[in-house]
Structure formats: C-alpha cells, structure tokens
Structure 1
Amino acid sequence: MHEITSILIDLFIIFTAAKIAGALFTRLKQPSIVGEVLAGILIGPYVLGWVGVPNESFIHLFGGDEASAHTALMLTLDVLAELGVILLLFFVGLETRVSELMKARGRALLVGILGILFPFAFGFAFMQLFGRTDLESAFVATAMVSTSIGITARVLGEIGVLHQREARIILGAAVVDDVLGLLLLSVVSSTAGGGVDIWQLLLTIIEVALFFIFVVLLGTRIVRRYSIRLERAPIQNAPLFVTLVVMLGFSALAGAIGLAAIIGAFLAGLMLSEAKERYGLERQAKPIYEFLVPFFFVVTGTKVDLTAFRDPQVLGLALGVTALAIVGKLVGGGLASIGLPTRSALVIGTGMTPRGEVGLVVASIGASFGVISGDAFSAVVFMSLATTLLAPPALVWLYRGRKAKGDESQKDSESRGSSHP
C-alpha cells in the first residue's frame, strides 16, 4: 500500500499548491491559472521535486526501473489533468447556447482559419532559417497553430465575459482552430510515417462534420424533447449521472475519431446547455469541477524543465518561436476582425494566443517519430508555457482597459447632460 500512499501524497501536494497559488494570484488581481501553472513548475521534478518523482517503494513495484516508475506516475497525474480539462471544456459548452455561438460563426471561422495560416507560415519559415529539415519545421509550425481553449476559457469565465461577442468568437474560432490543427497534425504525422493517407484524412473530415452536425442540429433537440423524463428516472441524482455519462461518452467518441477529447466535452456541454437551468447542472457538477480542473494547470507546469534554457542557442530559438507564435495569432485575429473596434481585435487575437497542452502534445508526437531535436522540443515547451502565462494577464488588462474607458465615456456623457438641463 506504500505505492498508493506515494500517489496520494503527490495529489495532496498538487491540490493544495493549486489552491494556495490560485488564491494568492486572485488577491493580486491576476487569473488563478497563472498561479497554478507557476505552482506546478515550482513543485515539479525540475525544481523542488515534490511531485512527479517516484519514491523507492514505487520504483520497486516496477522491478527497480526508475524510468518506468516515473512514466507510470506521470501517467496517473496526466489522467487527472485530462479529466480536469475535459470538465473545464464541458462547463464552457454548458455556458454557451448554440444560438449564441452560431451568431459568431462567420467571424469565428475566419479567425480560426487565419489563426492557423499565419502562425504555421511564420513558424515554418523561421525554422527553415535555422537550417532545420522540412519535417522538423512542419512539426514545430504545427505546434504553433492550435489554441488551448482551456486556458482562454478559464480566464474569460473568471472575468465574467463568456457571453460577450468577442468571447463567442474566440471559443468558436478555438474549436475550428483545434479541429483544423489536428487535421494538419494528421497530415504532418502521415508524412513522418511514410506519406499522406488521403483517404484517412477525408474520413476524419467526414467524421468531424457528422459530429458537429449531430450536436448542433439533432443533439439539442433531443435534449429539449426528452430531458423532462429525467425527473421520473429511478436513479439517484439522475441529472448529474446523465450529465457525466454524456460528457465522458462524447469525450471518448471524440478521441476515437481522432479529435481531442476536449472537443467532445465542449460539444456535450453545448448539447446539454438547453437543460442546465432546469436541473441546475452547473451547481451539481461544480464541486467536481473545483477539484479536478486545477490538476490540469498544475500538471502542465510540472512538465517544464527550466535547465534546458541555459543554452543560449536553445533560448534564442525558444524566444523566436514564442514571438512568432504570438504575432501570428495577433495578425490572423486582427485581419479576421476588420470592422470591429481595435480593442476587440486585440482581445480576439490575444484570446487565441495560449497554446498550453496543445503544443506539448504536438512536440511529443514529433519526438516519438524522432523528427524533432532536443532543442526544438525545448523551444516548443517554452513557447507553450510563455503563451499560457502571458495571455491571461493580457486579456484581463484589455478588458479592464475597455471597462475603464467605457466608464469614463459614461461619466463624460452624464457631465454633458447635467450641464444642459
């Protein structure tokens, strides 16, 4: 039982550190996720080594193989982190009405497409200037395109703007971004494996289209029609039970057809949003949310090895990739937001900036194929972390600035009104 105790201690440290760091950053008027990610870096195996480092009893369980023990321990933490981000995106979907999301569909689609084209082009060209192979350049560029919906969604939720137009555009674009980014990853991965499988790519596109059509056109109607039967279901806490089943089922289905599980979770929430007020789904699932979601952000932080950046060449590569990843999203979001106020365009571009776990996943796949070198891998990790840390406070600042400007304009208007009775 000592092996289980080791895992429980890690979970205790992660959860406690997340709550303390989150509360501290909230008091500093910053998003709690910044504190949670930094807490992960601090307590992770590369700094204090409080978590992610198997003890002797756990290593003994794997016949003394420390590498296998470490892999197993991190897999346990990764499962909880994945459940956390699945629940996070489910809540985002739950708070988003299909009708509201569809209002931003044209703009969101354009933001998503341009938000992929520019970062990919910038990243590929930059890696080519460093003399890297086409395949390595393509993998790094692919890691730069997809947005981590989880990071932006948490910030937008914390500052209470999920129902504003920019937030709808960002979330809609991020879904497009993730789907197209995964299709791009499938092409690059197929090339690494010996060629592009066109038929498999077409099949994936069809599966994605059918998934979205089912949720938008049929799923919401099914919920409206049959949700009333939950009141007569002979199951304790039937609404919560059905909610969790649908969330996990959609997540598993998304993974089975080659999408990120978080897309399935988002669509599950979107489908059940029609019944959330009737059954208080958010209130019932909130305790589970508060427990699991912080694991995602802390575990992401534990995977950052700061010692790799002592090499000036690695640091230069990392800074270049990070700068272009940010500029690419700002340019893409800005061009797609022509006709909107400048600050709205900046909000949209900034909201598409964080890469979070998405960049790490792409880098890991590239490393598994042996096409990404150690310094390129470190650069992608740095980019994922930097964009994750920089975007939340930038979003908060942009929204605060707009609110302050609006309040000032309102005061001026009231002043002019009072001077002309």
Structure 2
Amino acid sequence: MSFIGSLVIILLFTTLAGHLAARAGIPAVLGQLLIGIIIGPGILNFIHSTDLIEQFAEIGVILLMFMAGIESDMQQLKKYLKPALSVALIGVLLPVIVMGTTSLLFGYHLQEALFIGVVFSATSVSISVVVLREFKVLKGKEGATVLGAAVADDILGVLLLSFMIAIVGNTGGVAGNESSSNMLIQLIFQGVFFAGVFLLVRWIAPGIMYLSNKLLVPTGKTISAMIICLSMAYLAERVGLSGAIGAFFAGIAVGQTPTKKTVSNNIEPISNAIFVPVFFVSIGLGISFNNFLASLPFIIIMTTLAILTKWLGGELGALLAGFDRKSGRVVGTGMIARGEMALITAQIGFNAHLLDKALYVDIIFVIVVATLLAPLLLRWSLKKLNETN
C-alpha cells in the first residue's frame, strides 16, 4: 500500500479510536496504540512500518516532547517545590531500583535492567488531570502537587534517559585507548550541549522569540519556535543523545517566553492531527503476540510493580512533605499513569538498542495495562478522601 493510502487509514482509524477512548474515559493515545496493533502485523496485517512512517513517527516524537516542554508549568513547580520534588524524587528512584532489580532477577543484563527502571520512572498525568478535575481537586494541594511533581518527574526522566543514551553511545564498537578517547570527547560535547540548554532558556530563546515579533510574517513566532525545536533535536543527535531530549528542553525554553500561548496554539493542532497519531500507531505496528504466553509472568509482575512503585513512591514523598495519609494516597495514585512519556522513552531505548524487540513489546504491554488501571485507582483514592471532607 502507498504511504498516502496508509496515512489515510491511520488517521481515519485513530480518529475513531480517540473518540471511543474518550467516551470510555481512557487516554486517546492508548486508543491510537491499540489501532496500530489491530491494523498492523499483530492482528489484521493491513499496514507495515515503512521508512516514511518511521520518519513521520520521529517528527511526532520531537513535536510531542517539544509540547511537553512548553506545557511544563515551572511556576507551578516553584509554588509547590518541596512536596513536588519529594514526590518526584522518590517516585523516580523507587521504580528504577525496584523494577531494575526485578529485571535482573528475570535474567536481563544490567544495561537492560537499568533502562527498564528508567522507562517506568516516567509519569504522564494527562489522565490524572481529567479525574482530578472531575472531583474538583485539581487546584487543591493534592492536584497542584501532582502537577508540580509531573514537571520535576519529566525533567528527571529526561536527564536519566540522556545519561543512559550517553552510556550506550560511549560503549559501542571501539576498543582500548581509542574507545576512552571517543568517550571523553563525546562526554565533553554532551556537557557543552547541556550548558547550551541553560543559555537557551536564559537568553537565546527569549532573544529569538523577541525578534520573531518583528518579522512581517504571520507565522513568524511559530516558525522561529520550530527552528529552535528542530535545531535542538539535531544538536542532541549530533552529541549522541536523542532528538526528543533536545526538543523537550527547547520546549521548556520557548515555554518561558511571552509567545508560549501562540506557539502552542499553532503547533499542537498539526502535531496532534498528523504526526503524533502516526507515532503511536508505529509503536503498535511493532507489536506481535508470538511470545505473549511465555512473557505473561514478566508482564503481570512488572505491571504490579509499575503500579506499586509509583503509588508508594508518590505517597511516601507526600507524607514526608507533611500531607496526611489520604491526601498522600491521592498524590501517589495520581502519579501511576505512564502514557506517552513511558512509550516515548521505551521507543527511544529500542532505537538506541537498549532493548531487544521481545523485551520492548513486553514493556509496551505493561505500560498499557498500568495506564488503564491508573484512573480507577485514583478515583478510588479520591472517594476515600471525600469521605472525610
């Protein structure tokens, strides 16, 4: 099938799936992912991954991470800094330690085990926000802490991912002194890149976006923001990191400027209309059920741990910040959902050869099941909270 024909099918079915997912109260991204599994080699075998689909998917990841950076509310993080950092730190460390150790017990190598922990350190609160809004606690201390912790969680997760990709980039193919020399050079370049991120947030992005106001072009601000986004993605790849990492920090930089709303309103529609659905479908196209039964014990145990580590990590962090038990439980269950951040991290790891195909498929199953269960657990904890109010 031609790429245009495949794109029509992908957009048609992801739109319908997104509608049905919204009606069922589950994230649209999971509906898109399931469509990829259904129309791909996993079930119906209609569409296969191609170079063009992969290119569109890569742009989708970059735009998705760019928008995540733009939407990271740094003011919210500052306002609830203590509880947010407490929740984020413990909620990141616990999955890395527990799920990494469990992966070692399943026989995976240290590199794979560490990356599994990194994947499940990610949180996606888009699902939790819907439930928190439904119970009218989004602007209360529990909701604000979940949102603040999500910002810190994203930044910590991206830094961990950068570290893992850097290690992999520094361990391949060259021996002896040459390997050490290459490793040192690459680490220097990566250090320069992160120094550049600070300069970008502090001066470069505000300067570029200020000049974009002077352009006699209707979409000058959006084009300037896209130049920043794609440039950072390109530079990140050049120093051995993922382009998505560069795009995320570009989003944070643009998000601190007065043009944030304009850029978001212009980029988000085209991103969500074309590129992001193709990205999530492309993940589904890589799923098969060949070893599903053999992998079932791993999937069940890791799903249980994915839920418990975020729940207990978030609850403990909230308790240490002075919350009572029921409020802490709301924060903990609000951090369970993985969604798009974990899916992106898993795909980056797969592309960087941190995960083999079978393990990658198993991890996707765990992410999907944990994310589907997350809103149910959050609703339960909110009902418990309301019983005392």
Name the TM-score class by shorter chain: 0.7 to 0.9
Residue by residue, what CA displacement relative to the aligned partner does 1:18-70 show, whole Å, maximum 9, x if unpaired? 10011011112222122111111111112101111xxxxxxxxxxxxxxxxxx
Using the alignment, how far apart are the partners of 2:33 and 2:212 within structure 1? Answer: 39
Alpha-carbon shift at residue 202 of structure 1 (Å): 4.4
1:144 partnered with 2:117 = yes
Residue by residue, what CA displacement relative to the aligned partner does 1:134-171 show, whole Å, maximum 9, x if unpaired? xx24313313313586x826536766769933123113
Q: Percent identity?
A: 22
Tell me the residue number matched to 1:81: 57
Tell me the residue number matched to 2:259: 276
Tell me the residue number matched to 1:309: 292
Using the alignment, how far apart are the partners of 1:6 and 1:26 within structure 2? Answer: 30
Using the alignment, how far apart are the partners of 1:334 and 1:404 within structure 2? Answer: 16
1:295 partnered with 2:278 = yes
**Does structure 1 conserve the Cα–Cα contact (< 8 Å) formed by 2:91 and 2:310?**
yes
Indicate the SS of the match to 1:239. helix
Higher mean displacement: 138-147 or 202-211: 202-211
Indicate the SS of the match to 1:259. coil
Using the alignment, how far apart are the partners of 1:94 and 1:201 within structure 2? Answer: 28
TM normalised by structure 1 equals 0.73
Q: 1:90 to 1:363 in 2, by over 3 A?
A: closer
Using the alignment, how far apart are the partners of 1:351 and 1:205 within structure 2? Answer: 31
Alpha-carbon shift at residue 404 of structure 1 (Å): 5.7
Matched residue type, 1:181:
L
Q: In structure 2, which of residues 127, 132, 145 is the aligned counterpart of residue 155 of structure 1? A: 127
Q: In structure 1, which of residues 382, 391, 398 is the aligned counterpart of residue 362 of structure 2? A: 382
Using the alignment, how far apart are the partners of 1:153 and 1:301 within structure 2? Answer: 22
1:167 partnered with 2:147 = yes
Matches within 5 A, 1:237-256: 237-256=219-238
Tell me the residue number matched to 1:62: none
Tell me the residue number matched to 1:356: 343
More RCO (CA 8 Å, sep 6+): 2
Using the alignment, how far apart are the partners of 1:404 and 1:126 within structure 2? Answer: 32
Structure (1 or 2) with the larger CA radius of gyration: 1
Q: 1:39 to 1:148 in 2, by over 3 A?
A: farther
Alpha-carbon shift at residue 80 of structure 1 (Å): 1.3
Higher mean displacement: 119-128 or 28-37: 119-128
TM normalised by structure 2 equals 0.78
Q: In structure 2, which of residues 55, 69, 72 is the aligned counterpart of residue 93 of structure 1? A: 69
Tell me the residue number matched to 1:416: none
Using the alignment, how far apart are the partners of 1:117 and 1:266 within structure 2? Answer: 21
Q: In structure 2, which of residues 184, 188, 197 is the aligned counterpart of residue 203 of structure 1? A: 188
**Does structure 2 conserve the Cα–Cα contact (< 8 Å) formed by 1:44 and 1:301?**
yes
**Does structure 2 conserve the Cα–Cα contact (< 8 Å) formed by 1:333 and 1:349?**
yes
Q: 1:41 to 1:190 in 2, by over 3 A?
A: same
Matches within 5 A, 1:21-420: 21-52=17-48, 73-103=49-79, 113-130=89-106, 132=107, 136-146=109-119, 152=124, 154-155=126-127, 164-187=144-167, 190-191=170-171, 197=180, 199-200=184-185, 202-203=187-188, 206-207=191-192, 209-219=194-204, 221-222=206-207, 227=210, 229-273=211-255, 274-276=257-259, 280-291=262-273, 292-310=275-293, 312=294, 314-337=295-318, 338-339=320-321, 340=323, 341-347=327-333, 349-351=335-337, 355-366=342-353, 377-391=357-371, 394=374, 396-397=375-376, 400=379
Matched residue type, 1:13:
I
- The count of corresponding residues between Structure 1 and Structure 2 is 368
**Does structure 1 conserve the Cα–Cα contact (< 8 Å) formed by 2:95 and 2:120?**
no
- Could you tell me which runs of 5 or more consecutive residues in structure 2 were left unpaired when the two chains were aligned: none
Matched residue type, 1:361:
I
Matched residue type, 2:226:
L
Matched residue type, 1:301:
G
Using the alignment, how far apart are the partners of 2:350 and 2:212 within structure 1? Answer: 44
**Does structure 2 conserve the Cα–Cα contact (< 8 Å) formed by 1:81 and 1:293?**
yes
**Does structure 2 conserve the Cα–Cα contact (< 8 Å) formed by 1:110 and 1:173?**
no
**Does structure 2 conserve the Cα–Cα contact (< 8 Å) formed by 1:43 and 1:49?**
yes
Indicate the SS of the match to 2:124. helix
Indicate the SS of the match to 2:259. helix
**Does structure 1 conserve the Cα–Cα contact (< 8 Å) formed by 2:73 and 2:148?**
no
RMSD: 3.6
Alpha-carbon shift at residue 238 of structure 1 (Å): 1.6
Q: 1:128 to 1:315 in 2, by over 3 A?
A: same
